[in-house]
Amino acid sequence: MGVILLMPAQNTCTDGGLSDQYPYKSTHRTGENTMKRTLIVLTILCGCSTEANHIGNPLLLPFSAVSTGISNATYNQRRGQVEVYVKSNHTAIMADITNGGGDHIAQAMDIASIPTEDRPARLIQLRSDQALYQTSPEALITALMVYS
pLDDT at position 18, please? 56
Tell me, rounded to whole angstroms, the distance of Cα 129 from its chain centroid.
32
Cα 20 versus chain centre, distance: 60
Q: pLDDT at position 84, please?
A: 96
Mean of pLDDT over the chain: 80
Residue 65: per-residue pLDDT: 82
pLDDT of residue 32: 60
The confidence score (pLDDT) of residue 138 equals 96
Residue 39: the pLDDT is 77
pTM of the predicted structure, to 2 decimals: 0.59
- Pick out the chain residues at pLDDT < 70: 1-32, 45-57
Inter-residue contact 126 to 133 (CB < 8 Å): yes
